[in-house]
Structure 1
Amino acid sequence: MTGAANLDTVLGKAVTILRAFRPDDHAVPLATLVARTGLHKATVHRLAGELVANRLLDRVEGGYRLSGGLFELGMLASLERSLLEMAMPFLQDLYERTHETVHLGVRDGHDVVYIAKIGGHRQANSPSRTGGRIPLYCTAIGKALLAYSDPEFRREVLAAPMTRRTPHTIVAPGILSNQLDRVFETGVAFEREESAPGLTCVAAPVFGSNDKLVAAISVTGPTTRFKPESQVTVLRAAAEGLRSTMARREHLR
């Protein structure tokens, strides 16, 4: 869950414009940006021009799109970049062993933010994307992260409204709480068509120094062929391997 930008400042208005773009957008007309942001047309036009000048937006036929300058800034995010660099060999190995879609995700508010997604030609049609976010309560990665979060945060998430994304989404706090207890006991989390129909997933948490929860890794596949229980051993090995790598890196600092 991300906080709303302060519309009383120029920066807040600019951030609101940037956050108005959606994953499936190609070119967004000025009128659409005005409607999505609620800002005055002249304000959106002026700030969009400044964002173009600073390579945060591109002016294209039909409107605007997010620019590569944002990607460059995102890749400078030190925590995510170093985590991704250390995790990538384990994610690639996990993909080679399973030939299913592999994710690395971190917690941001009440959501999972996906740092990496690896999938081949036959990857499942998953709603996840690199840089995208999905609520914690309906994903295996989210459950792994939530189960090992502090109790107060867990209660906060369970008390918040949970939208039923599919007929299988668990929106009853008591049932989800019992699942999280089980995840904490076993070290693995499962999702069965809770974020999208036809998908099943298994995830394991990744810990850093002082047993601090850092991220989670998952393997996802279609329910027609993927048996998540069969991938628990290799998934745990990947999570433990990443943990050991982070510990060695920390020790060398």
Structure 2
Amino acid sequence: MAKLKFIDLFAGLGGFHLALEKLGCECVFASEIQPELQSLYERNFGMKCSGDINEIDITKDIPDHDILCAGFPCQPFSQAGKQQGFDDQKRRGNLFYKIWEILECKKPEFVFLENVPNLKSHDNKNTYKVIYSTLSQLYDIQDDIISPHYFGIPQHRTRIYIVGRLKSKGGLVGFNFPEHTERPECNINDILVPDDSDYMSLRQITKGKFYQFNLSSCIRQQNSLTAQFVSFSLSNLANIFYPPPFLQ
């Protein structure tokens, strides 16, 4: 049986590449706009990674393939971003239409997309309706929101996965996403020592005026994504181990 060929768009570190290669598929084209990630991709997989997908000539540069994989930019739809969607000022939201342009031209049998879960609810679900209706012109489509921790992998990272197969090839008859029934063999409660006298909550530590004043002031003064994440983390983290000496 011949290997299935795939292309890896918005390739990043090459997650799609790694997974499909392990399944015996062959990557015939990859695209990533960040130069640092292009270099890393070449080191990891031994193949050149093209740049800006908008500069690619679909007919000349992209070989025929069986699977189109794309983790297209999530910032326009993420809850941590401005949620500008298709109207994103940096033109990241409309990159879905580049994917569709490739699908229309090359018509690979399968399409495999990934994005943040908020994609499905963004703009009162209108964004996903556009994506679904567009893909459905050629493909039978299914989607699911999945996280690695559903299957015993120690990472909590929910993402929406969209899978499609050409209707002309029979669609997705017989396909189902995996059930969310797997459980990790080990969890944090198996590791923590409940009576540890050195175990302190974050709230206890932040009572120190020096720590609390400086950290909260920095967060208020910085209007950046990093500051948002720090602020979010402080409000959601439960406990930490062994505070530094100056806080004890």
TM-score using structure 2 length: 0.26
Which structure ranks higher in relative contact order (CA pairs < 8 Å, sequence separation ≥ 6)? 1
TM-score using structure 1 length: 0.26
Larger Rg: 2
Instruction: Give the structure with the higher percent helix.
Output: 1
